[in-house]
Amino acid sequence: MDDDTIAELADRAGVEADFAARLRDLGIVGPPAAERYAEGDVRRVRLIHMLVRAGLPLDGIGTAVRNGTLSLDFVDTATYDRFASFSSETFGEVSARTGIPVETLGVIRE
């Protein structure tokens, strides 16, 4: 079940399952509180993925989270509910489905 749960977390965050599993192993994300990971966990994975892509060391981030130097709890706040979840639907597809021009969708997103 855990591998399926990690695979779903990775899919929802738009990352590889191995990356999500590594975050779990480093203690950056724990086991899900219920049958499925919360949106805050998905945002946590996305945020860490961006930081690693920007050049920050994943092991260092993991150490900082585990020892309390770095808290990612802010991604659980209501403010972050405004950020859209990862979706396989493109702006072009949304435009075709809704009739809203892609340019307008871009402005709305900003």
Mean local confidence (pLDDT), 62-72 = 94
Instruction: Please determine, for residue 1, whether its predicted confidence score (pLDDT) is greater than 50.
Output: no
The span from the CA of 98 to the CA of 107, in Å, is 15
Q: 89 φ, ψ to 5°?
A: -80, 130
Q: Are 80 and 74 in contact (CB under 8 A)?
A: yes
Range from 36-45, 46-55, 76-85 carrying the lowest mean pLDDT: 76-85
- Res. 17: pLDDT tops 50: yes
**pTM greater than 0.75:** no
